[in-house]
Chains A and B, each alone.
Chain A
Amino acid sequence: MGELGLLLPEVYLAATVIGLVLGESAHHGERVRLVLPTALLGIGGALIQTILMYRHEAALLFGGALSLDAFGLYFKLLFLLLAAISVSAVCLSDEIERSIRAEFCALILAGTVALMLAAGASNLFVAAMALQSAGVVGSLLSGFGRQKPAASEAGIKWLAPIAFSGACLLFAATTLYLRTGTADLAELHHLLLSASPPGKLGILIFATIFMGLAIPMMVFPGNFWAIDVVQGAPSIAGVFLSAGVRAAGFAVASRIWFALFAQPALEPGKWLPLGGWDWTQWLAVSAGLTLAVPALLSIRQKNAKRLLSCVAIVEGGFLLLGLLVLEELGLAAILFSLLVGTVSSLGALYVLSLSTVRLGSAEVSDLRGALRGRPWESVSMVCFSASWLGLPPFASSVARLALLGAAVRREWYALAGLGLFAMTLTAIATGRLLLGLLVTGPAGARADMEGEDDRGRKVFLLALLLPLVLSTFLAEPLLRWASLSLRFIFW
């Protein structure tokens, strides 16, 4: 087995993908389908294997292409959680037709393999390729769904920027490789510490890497695609992109930026920009615009999915705050936020998808009263939205405090102010959407929607809500776990 044994979680998932595809080919059209159990079995196996990986010491695999460390394992667990929730949501929603659910789930799992590889990538080329693979899968996922034209458009709108992103990353990797003879992050870190690249070249490399990562991270200027794609794509695909691909983007960004552009400061747990220029100013501008623009746009949105995609982008701005302060606390806050945000965003978009499928529209005006008489969905939607927005009583409020606090500690007061401004605007916009969903619409009572009852959906919602509520009380252990997961940084 050797090094391949340390990739067992990915191997498990890949085998499950093959199993799903073969099973669907052999038994297509049968009434009883085993898509969900098969997928969950594979994810469960991968999850156990990933947890068992914590027994191993941190190591570089395949000649430094991949890294087995606590940081990567944290993200792998996050992606497996996302995969488990996503396939469950697909099978418990009518958004994806039954006949294509197996393919959709197989794609989610394939995308998860790519995300996990990106999380563990310690080589620039591997990181770029893993992100590209996840992006291509995301594009295919976006093309699924009932509203074919919109979905197809979303798929293409996602594919174009992700291709550009890949090109940027490969350009930067090639340039560095030609100059230093290596694309391995650990080696590059040591080389650059002794002789950082000259000013203009350094700026060029940073700019191309930043452009390459801004698209999967959904931060300015790479976030313009997001609103249209999330609107057109099936909700679960939207979450896969906004939570999964973005988390992978932040994982790769953390590794690359701290390896190539930062050096440890004298004070433990802190870093300084490497070289003669402060690139954190770039990130600050990007974070400010990522916070402010979508927050302003959210107020004007008339489509519920577009509105929630604005919330997702604003969240990306907060995450960038954690990155640009170059502190261990900021990074830990990112990891914690990603964990809580994944569950919240998936839950909110899932509940919304139930209504949009029932009513055939995601326009706010058409959705009025959609949750009336549906207490489970109403409570869930309110809780998921509040958590996503970073409002008490959910743990995400602690995460927001951590991220805003990171900016205040660095005396980025304007950025912290923008963050609060964005939080306020998105809370108002989402509150208005929620009110619309809960009150009786102008079309009167929705008799056609009354009486629907699905125990599976209730259990699923409860399974999402419980950890969300518990995370409020368990915020400290989760934060500590996130902090411990940053060991990768000690090269």
Chain B
Amino acid sequence: MNTHLLTGMIFLPLLGAILQATSPSARTSRWMALGASAASALLGGLLLGQVSPGEAGPQLVDRLPWIGSYAIHYELAVDGTSVLLLLLISAVFPVLVASEWERSSGARGLHALLLILQGSLIGAACAQDLFLLFFFWSLSSLPIFFLVGVWGAEHKEQAAFRSLVTNTLGNTLLFAAFVLIYYSREPHTFLIREIVSAGGMPETTISLAGLEVQAANLAFVLVCAGLALRAPVWPVHGWFYRVSEEAPASVFVAVGAVTVPVAVMIFGRLANQLFPAVMDAGANWVAGAGLVNLLVGSVAILSQRRISGLVAYLCVAQLGLCLIGLGSQDASAMVGVIFQQLGAGLALAVLGLLMGGLATRAGIFEVLGGAGGLSRTAPAAAVVMGLAIGAFVGAPGMSGFVGQSLIAMGGYARAPAVLVAIGISSLLIAYSLFGVFRRLFLGEPQTADRPSSGELTARERIYLIPLVALIVILGFYPKPFLDWVRPTAASLVSRPSAQDAASPAPEPGQESPPSASPSPAAAPES
């Protein structure tokens, strides 16, 4: 069914960005920005209502031929990998726009860039055509660069430059991979469904400096490298750390809580759909990279003096956890990864905005900055912080519990040692985060040098409460969310048997049937 809801979700923020920038009144401009973001989120809510939980293939497809000369299509769809990301983007971006409500200078530019980022990330999450995916994904790096470079703190230019270099390089590598995929198949196509229906990227070889290289292997490596540069994968995570230090809280949240999950989702989808054989062979490498990230992130958190750095490494550790899930090639782990994107994204958004508020209002930047006893002067902030930490450490009843458990289960099935690493990492993260909570919120209040109590403002309560509520709902009643994800996750990691592989591929131009829904037995019930 072609509802154009996805198109609306993408273009409403883009339209809002233009309209609010040209509005004569600053107040009207803010409302227009918030309205555009919220309207997109509302469409997202409507769209979620139409997603069928039992379906593994793309749904609510929006299809339009775009550039026929190069077989480029404007094709968007939602499936189990993107449905929770749409929920995350819809929940977080209106909050980010609202969090920048009182910015006095350059609010229109900042809001416009946030809206462009929102639209482009939705497009990247739902694109079913590789060129369209690249189109939206690389578009999303432009706002990040300017948001950091123009509205950042003292060393914003260095941070922006680092993000520019890594993101540009990442986009280039991804583009190279897509060009390679496009030309490796006759007739050339960017459509993911057509490549999938042919069993992924064909086994062709290309000659590079006299060496015969498998095109699929090369494209897979390019996709991995391209997305690793955009997501803060160790050891190319330096730019992300600088962004966490210099960017405004809202911008860091947009990058860490939303852009990184989108990168992980793109990787999970492309790796399993376009390069199933290569992914099978390289799964251990992916899981190994995840393990390194998880341990590096968890250990680095212990040594962070600044709160921003702590949140950044928390993100690195979460990314590691998700990579372990992807590398385990297990259906339950895949479900866990997708679920964890939403849960950790929401928790990071809450934590990031809260910390941003504390830094702006109470001047608290350091973990050991002489703050303490905030729970007495700012009880609401303490409760929200406690819940966000609970989500991160995987406390029962919080979103993190479900996601982390599923990933650990899947990881155990592949390599039991993974469970030990996840356990150690969880302990380290819990120790660090509760330590921070203790230093900031417990003990005697130290208000001498503090400009304010750090308590949540009325506006903050309004926009943080829905996020916190969602974290709790996800923890207590994850079933409807898991039902959306499970069929797609299972189909991603299931590989066709030899008999299936031998069956003829559909004729070019013929509509490929949607991916078969796996049997309920194949998809684990949580």
Binding site for B on A (CB under 8 A): 329, 332, 375, 378-379, 382, 386, 391-393, 397-398, 401-402, 404-405, 408-409, 411, 413-414, 416-417, 420-421, 423-424, 427-428, 431-432, 435, 438-439, 475-476, 479-480, 483
Contact = CB atoms under 8 A, between A and B. Distances in A.
Contact of B164 (A392, A416, A417, A431): A431
Contact of A413 (B21, B156, B206): B206
A329 B146 CA distance: 36
B161 interface: yes
18 contacts: A375-B109, A379-B21, A391-B138, A391-B142, A392-B136, A392-B138, A393-B135, A397-B135, A408-B183, A409-B183, A413-B208, A423-B172, A427-B164, A427-B168, A428-B168, A431-B145, A476-B69, A483-B69
Interface string B5-22: 000000000000000010
A436 B70 CA distance: 37
Contacts of B209: 414
B168 A479 contact: no
Interface in B100-141: 108-109, 131, 134-136, 138-139
Contacts of A404: 179
A475 B132 CA distance: 14
A481 to B, nearest CB: 11
Contacts of A332: 69
Given A405-B182, A411-B207, A424-B169, A439 B67 contact: no
A432 B164 contact: yes
Contacts of A417: 176
Interface of B, secondary structure class, is helix
Contacts of B134: 392
Given A398-B70, A405-B70, A475-B67, A435 B149 contact: yes
Interface in B76-113: 108-109
Nearest to B184: A408
B484 interface: no
B480 interface: no
Contacts of B131: 401
A420 B176 contact: yes
Contacts of B136: 392
A401 B179 contact: yes
Interface of B: 21, 65-70, 72, 108-109, 131, 134-136, 138-139, 142, 145-146, 149-150, 156-157, 160-161, 164-165, 168-169, 172, 175-176, 179-180, 182-183, 206-209
Given A405-B70, A431-B164, A475-B66, 13 more contacts: A382-B146, A391-B142, A392-B135, A398-B67, A398-B72, A401-B179, A408-B180, A417-B176, A420-B172, A424-B172, A431-B161, A435-B146, A476-B65
B164 A428 contact: yes
A419 to B, nearest CB: 10
A388 to B, nearest CB: 14
Contacts of A427: 164, 168
A405 B182 CA distance: 9
Contacts of A431: 145, 161, 164, 168
B248 to A, nearest CB: 15
A423 B142 CA distance: 15
Contacts of B65: 476
Contact of A435 (B157, B175, B180): B157
A405 B179 contact: yes
B171 to A, nearest CB: 8
Contact of B150 (A405, A411, A413, A438): A438
A357 to B, nearest CB: 24
Contacts of A375: 21, 108-109
Contacts of B207: 411, 413
Give the one of B66, B145, B172 with max A CB within 10 A. B172
A391 B137 CA distance: 11
B67 A479 contact: yes
Contacts of B70: 398, 401-402, 405
A435 B168 CA distance: 15
A133 B131 CA distance: 42
A408 B168 contact: no
Given A382-B146, A408-B179, A408-B183, A435 B67 contact: no
A397 B109 CA distance: 24
B175 A438 contact: no
B142 A386 contact: yes
B17 to A, nearest CB: 10
Nearest to B156: A439
B79 to A, nearest CB: 23
A402 B131 CA distance: 12
A435 B160 contact: yes
Contacts of A416: 176, 179
A391 B175 CA distance: 11
A458 B150 CA distance: 23
A316 B501 CA distance: 45
B518 to A, nearest CB: 35
B211 to A, nearest CB: 11
A432 B161 contact: yes
A143 to B, nearest CB: 37
B290 to A, nearest CB: 27
B76 to A, nearest CB: 15
B150 A439 contact: yes
A100 to B, nearest CB: 36
Contacts of B160: 435
Give the one of B67, B131, B138, B157 with max A CB within 10 A. B67
Given A386-B142, A392-B135, A439 B149 contact: yes
A289 B118 CA distance: 39
A466 B168 CA distance: 26
Closest 3 CB pairs of A and B: A392-B135, A431-B164, A424-B172
B59 to A, nearest CB: 26
A479 B150 contact: no
B369 to A, nearest CB: 28
Contacts of A398: 67, 70, 72
Contacts of B149: 435, 438-439
Contacts of A480: 69
B118 to A, nearest CB: 15
Give the one of A392, A424, A435 with max B CB within 10 A. A392
Nearest to B169: A424
Contacts of A378: 109
Contacts of A428: 164-165, 168
A301 to B, nearest CB: 15
Contacts of A439: 149-150, 156-157
Contact of A476 (B66, B135, B176, B183): B66
A391 B169 CA distance: 13
A286 B176 CA distance: 22
B204 to A, nearest CB: 11
Give the one of B69, B108, B138, B164 with max A CB within 10 A. B69
